[in-house]
Amino acid sequence: MPQILDGKVVREEIFAGLKPRIQGICKKLHRPPGLAVVLVGEDPASKQYVQNKIKACSDLGIYSRKVSPPATISTEELLEVLDGVNRDPEIDGILVQMPLPKQVDSRRVLEAVIPEKDADGFHPLNVGHLVAGRPAPRACTPAGIMEMVKYYRIPVDGRNAVVVGRSDIIGKPMALMLLAANATVTICHSRTSNLAEECRRADLIVAAIGRPALITADFIKPGAAVIDVGTSRITDPAEAARLGRTREFEQKGAAWVGDVNPVDVEKVAGAYSPVPGGVGPLTIAMLMSNTVGLAESHG
């Protein structure tokens, strides 16, 4: 059995480190750090994600404000909303919950959040700071993975790392963060030839391609650390049984699985972050960390 990399344990460690920093901000600024979450429309999954973020703010003593424009909003109208939040002195960090409605230009919206309040680390200027190794908010999920790797003392320096997925949100910043930690990094994606062969070279695999159970035992070097970022909902009982999710399926009528086959990974890997319970809790933890860091810089 591999070592299980429990994201909840790491999250609590991060939160414990943030609390005294938040107290210091309150004394210095005479107010708590402030996070604005912009939720457009009524998408159920997005509403749940936002609720989780607001709860984390409440638990830590961070002021949160939910901005909820209607799903019919235009790009220009949403840009006006963001302009108001950008100017608000009580708000240190801004997050725009994705996805946005089809009529909204997502790129223009994300770039409209000023870099000094970019709690997600998605603004091109902050991505440039990541490339250059300069301090700035980092994309939350990859930053959380780096905290997990550090907490569990997974070796990175001088090791081979493979990132499966090349998204702007996870894959690309993940590769840059691993490179900064002195890993030898390979980025793979849906067009990679011999994907299994590339992955088998890795001492550390980060799977973030969005294909359920794609990474099987054939992809994993014995003893490698495997970080699963994917989340896919399984509604076929036979598929749930094949992936060892029968009990969850029977209880809930569906099951969640990542990009890594959970049955196979337990046979081969030395360490493994499961789905759920692995990387997920760390995304919100790093959003809180980014917000606190932005508040400190504003002071």
Which of 6, 46, 16, 90 lies closest to 288, judged by CA?
A: 16
Strands 160-164 and 204-207: parallel
Place of tokens 């399984």: 234
Tokens of 2: 């591999």
Place of tokens 């100017």: 87
What are the residue numbers of the active site?
A: 53, 97, 120
Strands 63-67 and 204-207: unpaired
Q: Is 165 left (phi over 0), alpha (psi -120 to 50) or beta?
A: left
Q: How far apart are CA 237 and CA 251, in angstroms?
A: 12
| Residues facing 233 on adjacent strands | 256
> Please, what is the Cα angle at 173 between 170 and 175, to 5 degrees?
100
Tell me the residue length of the chain: 299
Query: Helices marked H in 224-279 — which ranges?
Result: 237-242, 246-252, 262-268
Query: Helices marked H in 30-170 — which ranges?
Result: 44-60, 75-87, 106-112, 124-132, 140-151
Q: In what order do the strands lie in the sheet with 93-96?
A: 63-67, 34-38, 93-96
Q: Contact, 146 vs 291, CB < 8 A?
A: no
